Amino acid sequence: MWAYVKRLSAALCLCGIIGILAACGTTEPATPANGGDTDLETAPPLATVPIEATTLATDATSEADEPMTETTEEPMAGTEGDGGATELATAAEGAQLAYTDTEMSAPANTELTATFNNESDSLQHNWVLVNGGLDVAEEVNNAALQSPPDFIPDTSDQILAATELLDPNSSDSVTFTTPDPGEYIYLCTFPGHFQGGMYGTLTVE
């Protein structure tokens, strides 16, 4: 009889333990419930992802626009390049003994029109491209002193192109065929201006 009670007690204990385990088991499912909470916590990021995806889609649209803009700019640059193939332009401003462009470039052996705008209000200038570097420019400039009133010396082999001597606020264009690749100096041959620094380099490529 006593033994039966002990077994019953043991059985009750087991039931209690099982009950506890069951309770634990019931508690554990609560963890998956927390896992569910984790899922819920994950859900907002998931909800954010579509927003980011939308943002990315918007960015993709923006990026799609940008290449189109670049594509639009490239032909324009190409047009400018084509323009550069046939035209050059520079100017002189105010009382400065200087061209606004001291470095220009052009393709070799190509017919090209150079335009010089004398935007000075007080000084006469010209644009003379010589067939060589600073040494040739100096020779042409010295010869120009003996060639008033336009200061263009009769040294056709040393001069590739020259505008007229321009009064203030006037312009002139000269069309010529560019030489072989190299660096060529252009200068203003009005007395004193070359020495004052009024020259630049045309790089022919």
Nearest to Cu ion of 116, 179 (CB atom) = 116
Nearest to Cu ion of 125, 179 (CB atom) = 125
Distance CA 13, CA 15 (A): 5
Least separation, in Å, of the C-beta of 66 and Cu ion? 44
* CA 23 vs CA 9, 14, 27, 28: distances in Å: 20, 13, 6, 8
Least separation, in Å, of the C-beta of 124 and Cu ion? 7
Tokens of 203: 């790089």
Nearest to Cu ion of 174, 198 (CB atom) = 198
- Bridge partners, 117 (sequence order): 91, 171
- Bridge partners, 114 (sequence order): 88, 174
- Bridge partners, 24 (sequence order): none
Q: Whose CB is nearest to Cu ion?
A: 188
Least separation, in Å, of the C-beta of 106 and Cu ion? 21
Q: Kindly list the residues in this chain that would bind Cu ion in the complex (CB under 5 A).
A: 125, 188, 190, 193, 198
Nearest to Cu ion of 186, 190 (CB atom) = 190
Secondary structure of residue 1 in the 3-state scheme: coil
Is the CB of residue 199 less than 8 Å from the CB of residue 186? yes
Least separation, in Å, of the C-beta of 165 and Cu ion? 9
